[in-house]
Structure formats: structure tokens, C-alpha cells
Amino acid sequence: MSYTLRGGFESRFASALAPLLVAAVLSATLAAWPPIQLAGLMLAVGAALDLALYHRLLPYQPGWIALPIAVLELGAIMALARAVRIGAPVGAAIGFFVGSWLVAQALAHAVFPLVRVSYAEDGGELGRIGATAVAACVAVAAFAGGVAWGTRPPTVHLAAACTAAPL
């Protein structure tokens, strides 16, 4: 398929909405933030690669190239997750990526063409659905970030002196 830049972004964000929601719910219920951090990193890496690499080098993306692209994205995500010290277990992180990738493939090959008949001719653009998906992803990420910020343990800053009170 020949994705336009907008179509690639809209398809990516619409495909990422379900995994992002799952990660937000997991993070909120476990009070551990690696799932939402990992989902955000996956979305950021994919969007950056869409902008910098795929749009320029792959004007046409045949179906078979999805697997090499997934391996490239997984490698970049895992390297960045280690670099920024996201504390997700490696097996769970890879499982989350594979599940998210399978959802994205099912949506791109089966659901989006049914929802928008001109999906392939429009270069993956989803119209209002795409704009809504981008806004929903931003809203879910902002809400999860707000919950993470609100549930942080309190921090006590002490002056560089002896304190006589109990902590």
C-alpha cells in the first residue's frame, strides 16, 4: 500500500488506541507506570520512523515488509527503553509489542478498508476517524500522565542540616 504521511500517522494512531488504553488501565490498576511508558515509546518511535524513514524510503509498502519493519521498530523501542530505564520486564515488553503489532495488522488489512472504503486509494487516510483517533490517543496519554502524577508518593526535601523531627 502507498501510505501518505498523514495516512501513515492516522493509521498508526488509530491502531495504537486499543494498546494505549490497555496500557493505561494496567498502569492505573497496578500503580506501576512501565506499561504506559512503553506504549508511549512505541507510538513515538513508530511516528518518528514514519516521518524520518518510511515516508521517504518506502513510497510503496508491500504486505511482506511489515515483518522487517516490526523487527526494526522492536529493536529501536527496546534500545530506547533500556536507555531511558523503563522498568518493564523484557518478556512482557516484547509480548505487548507483538500483541499491539497483531492488532495493528488486523486493523490495517481487515477493519480500516471496511470502515472507510477508499482507505487504500486515500493512502491510509481515515478522515474524521483518523483525526479523532489522534485526539483520543493524546487524551488517553494525558489522562494516564495525570493519574501517574497524582499518585506519586510524597517527596520530602530537607535542608543540609540535622533534623530533630521524625520523618
Residues 44-60 pLDDT 10s: 999 999 999 998 899 88
Note whether 134 and 15 are within 8 A (CB).
no
pTM of the model: 0.85
Q: How far apart are CA 96 and CA 37, in angstroms?
A: 12
Q: Give me the pLDDT at residue 86, please.
A: 92
- What confidence score (pLDDT) does residue 162 get? 65
- The confidence score (pLDDT) of residue 158 equals 67
Q: Quote the CA–CA distance of 139 and 135 in Å, as a whole number.
A: 6
Phi/psi of residue 113, nearest 5 degrees:
-65, -25
Residue 150 has pLDDT above 70, yes or no: yes
On whether the CB atoms of residues 80 and 37 are closer than 8 A, the answer is no
pLDDT at 66: 92
Q: Please state, in angstroms and rounded to a whole number, the distance separating the CA atoms of residues 96 and 77.
A: 12
Mean per-residue pLDDT of the chain: 90
- Give the residue-averaged pLDDT of 64-79: 96
